[in-house]
Amino acid sequence: MPKYLLLKNYTGGPERHPNFAPMSEWTEDEITAHLAFQRHVGELLRERGEFVDVQALSPEGTYVRYGGPGAAPVTTDGPFPETKELAAGWFMIDVESEARAYEIAAYLSSAPGKDGQPIYEWIEVRPVLSDAPAAVE
């Protein structure tokens, strides 16, 4: 069974759906409904035996790199205007096929947003490489 990462982006991906309204414009109830939907997706995946992991990421992050010999690490705070993508979190799933992964991603993207309408968020679907090569050459 292949594993897929369903990556939720704050920004990034192809052009946004015209119905998209950022969470800052939602009411409290709309936010509550949205979060309940996320939990519901997790429960659905668990119930079907497809769940591997779910994580949310803080939007605040720091870029760190090697500073060179003997130097301290170089750090810079984000976000940056030139940064195109910012991962918000992910589901990892273990499913029968790529088609099933797409089906789940599309469902995830139908999460309710402003006025209870689907947010049509782009979900990036990335296959996870397996550890073991196939036993048959």
Partner 1 sequence: MNEHVVRVLAPQVLSILVRRGNDFAAAEDAVQDALLEAHRSWSDAPPDDPKGWLLTVAGRKLIDARRSEAARRRREDALSHEPEPAPAEQADDTLLLLFLCCHPALSPASAIALTLRAVGGLTTREIAEAFLVPEATMAQRISRAKRTVSGRPFAQPGDVAVVLRVLYLIFNEGYAGRVDLSAEAIRLTRQLALACDEPEVAGLLALMLLHHARRDARTDEHGTLVPLDRQDRTQWNEAEIAEGVRILQAALARDRRGEYQIQAAVAALHDDARTAGETDWPQILAWYDELRELTDNPVAALSRAVAVGEVDGPHAGLSAVEELATRLGDHHRLDAVRARLHERAGHLDLAAEHYTRAAARARSTAERDYLTRQAARLRRG
By CB under 8 A, name the binding residues for partner 1: 1-3, 46-53, 94-96, 127, 129-137
Nearer to partner 1, 28 or 131 (CB): 131
Nearer to partner 1, 116 or 127 (CB): 127
Measured CA angle at 118 (ends 113, 121), to 5 deg: 85
Q: Is the Cβ of residue 10 or residue 51 nearer to partner 1 in the bound state?
A: 51
Pick the closer one to partner 1 by CB: 20 or 51.
51
Torsion sign (Cα): 96, 110, 15, 54: negative
CA 124/CA 109 separation, integer angstroms: 10
For the CB of residue 68, give the shortest distance to partner 1 in the complex, in Å. 26
Q: Are 78 and 61 in contact (CB under 8 A)?
A: yes
The encoded tokens of residue 63 equal 């870029």
**Least distance CB 56 / partner 1 (angstroms):** 18
**Within 10 A of 91 (CB to CB), how many other CB atoms are there?**
24
Least separation in angstroms between CB 15 and partner 1: 24
Q: At closest approach, how far in Å is the CB of 41 from partner 1?
A: 14
